[in-house]
Structure 1
């Protein structure tokens, strides 16, 4: 459920008409619903009540400080993959004791900052990374809590760019090397080996890959314990998908939680999960305006809007489908059009061959399910300032990131 609904024919975010926001802040703009985000957060946590769980929001999916503050207040930790994300999490008053540092490559200064902050856990992915972290920790007279990220070789059946547990993946330690690598972790100074981790992919549309990964990780925990290791934590990563409107409905948080509980019951570990998209995707939309219509070759019709692939990269990068609808009451009838942006790339197609109510120049439209990996992946390509972000709470709203100016485009540059 989300709180983007029609009132008297007009699409609103909670109690605020999106047309009002367009008038005040302009377009394009990202708009988020507080009620939707918090509802999704609570439903997700409730689905995992059968486990001893630490839920860490994946900062990469939606790193705005205001959104992070909401989740920190609601009890979430944070999953980070860079020093910049650590900075954001701390600025959002996140509890360092609930921060997990993931990622295949961490710089020494990032390791040092995380050690100084006192984070919950480093997820390490190679022998060389373990040795590097050991040196950094010893130099700082610290002990780094470490989980070894494993590649369980589970096909998540998702887009190749976001499948992270295939045999060809750069992520995780191959299964054949896990026991040897864990022995190394347990022997290194400055390292406290506490568990194992995995993350099989993103936008996963079935329970089966999660069940398969959890079963493999359960077996690994028991195997490492039989080797004499004290395995206290199991990080199952994230990846639960959301409905974008063009395919099968992904499993619900309840179905996901039931699968994990079944697979991990009786193992006696602290279970970590790293939700991102499932919490924030449906909590945000990209609000944009039709610039013009254009007749293409033959019967091809284009609707050009003021948002482009620099604002929402997912359709170009992943061929992702985002439901699109007018803000005003839809006109009668329908036509098949390509909704495109103004960026000088043929890939700048936000909604190809989409059957929509007739759209005219000046109309406001929204791209749904844009809260995750939307603004997070936005760029200044074509020297286009990035859009603002707006957070709605009931009848009130505020700008949580200002629209960039042309001066922002050259900030830090020297002629």
Structure 2
């Protein structure tokens, strides 16, 4: 990665360890910005994909905005040097304290997901003597054609306000003294590989924008959310450039500022999870490579049935598939957690020896952020690489860290 050997990173920082390329992150950000350069636009990185302060800081310095879903994410962005007025606050469960804190920081926009939330934002803003900038997150009932757990734009999903109710809710918002209507928003899902669902969602938003103009409600921006997919194994996602080409004519005709909220596509393939083979356990029915990472470090394979590539430290040295006397075999790469669902990859042809380093690719998004301490396992360290340099950006958790804030019962 860059000019740094991943094996050297493993030796220096230990395993398991998440490793990110600073340049790869910046390259994708620039690709989004360049593709929509003909429009007034703001690329708001979706913090939930990877919230490490170093990642956020690199993007903040590049001029990115941010999409957040919690007060914790807002505080992370601010700590990393991000500006509140370039942040959109999404999420279905904003509390009074969340809204109060965000308003006091000068939040750029709340993406409102319900009438109840709209009323709460108005009440909080009134208490503070402020006007709250809002857009409604509209649920356009568009099938993103992705995994049901990461599909967010159907009428069965918990997100957003139904398309046929949106104009009425905007009219309610327009009558609230402490609400400033600034935009319209939608997000139909994650890991979309085709542009057609985005176009369908945009058409529905354009319809609403016209209806709102007829009622004297004029917006300043349109937010198309995120969700552009990446290649993990053999997917063929639409490129950022082709994604932009499909949307630009309609967006240019609108004359509004355009927001996007990419997350996975910004960081997934900028990162790997490196892990070491601890035990090789061939059996009559299955061959298991037991590694020091596990589902607590990377839950995507177990939760989403995600397939992520596995690159071994040493590739076979000839066409026979052998290296140093080891034979290529079909392995399930698994962790040491007491769950049959604890696997990182299945049925992979690899030439392995105990002690080998493996890199799980595509791990820069929804890897560390979804990790846990299940089985009382400390979370992995994180490292960033730029050119020939590598830096620790999160320390590995120790066992003592896991119970430092716990207390024994006192009789």
TM range (shorter): over 0.9
Deviations for 1:269-308, whole angstroms, at most 9, x for unmatched residues?
1111001111111110000000111123x34111111100
Query: Are the aligned partners of 2:122 and 2:176 in contact in 1 as well (CA < 8 Å)?
Result: yes
Q: Which residue of 2 aligns with 1:4?
A: none
Query: Are the aligned partners of 2:378 and 2:399 in contact in 1 as well (CA < 8 Å)?
Result: yes
Query: Are the aligned partners of 1:338 and 1:354 in contact in 2 as well (CA < 8 Å)?
Result: yes
| Aligned-partner Cα distance in 1 for 2:370–2:245 | 32
Match of 2:262 among 266, 270, 275: 275
Q: Which residue of 1 aligns with 2:301?
A: 315
| Aligned-partner Cα distance in 2 for 1:215–1:75 | 29
Q: Which residue of 2 aligns with 1:325?
A: 311
Q: Which residue of 2 aligns with 1:6?
A: none
Q: Which residue of 2 aligns with 1:368?
A: 361
Query: Are the aligned partners of 2:190 and 2:229 in contact in 1 as well (CA < 8 Å)?
Result: yes
Alignment of 1:13-412 (within 5 A): 13-247=1-235, 249-296=236-283, 298-332=284-318, 333=321, 334-356=328-350, 358-412=351-405
Query: Are the aligned partners of 2:32 and 2:43 in contact in 1 as well (CA < 8 Å)?
Result: no
How far apart are 1:262 and its partner, in Å? 2.6
| Aligned-partner Cα distance in 2 for 1:260–1:105 | 31
SS at match of 2:237: coil
| Aligned-partner Cα distance in 2 for 1:34–1:125 | 34
TM norm structure 1: 0.95
Aligned length: 400
How far apart are 1:396 and its partner, in Å? 1.1
How much is the aligned-residue C-alpha RMSD, in angstroms? Answer: 1.1
Query: Are the aligned partners of 1:150 and 1:198 in contact in 2 as well (CA < 8 Å)?
Result: yes
| Aligned-partner Cα distance in 1 for 2:41–2:158 | 27
SS at match of 1:263: helix
Query: Are the aligned partners of 2:122 and 2:177 in contact in 1 as well (CA < 8 Å)?
Result: yes
Query: Are the aligned partners of 2:167 and 2:208 in contact in 1 as well (CA < 8 Å)?
Result: no
Q: Which residue of 2 aligns with 1:10?
A: none
Unaligned runs of 5+ in 1: 1-12
Q: Which residue of 2 aligns with 1:9?
A: none
SS at match of 1:238: coil
How far apart are 1:147 and its partner, in Å? 0.1
SS at match of 2:311: strand
| Aligned-partner Cα distance in 2 for 1:137–1:330 | 63
Deviations for 1:184-231, whole angstroms, at most 9, x for unmatched residues?
111112111112100000000101111111111111111111111011
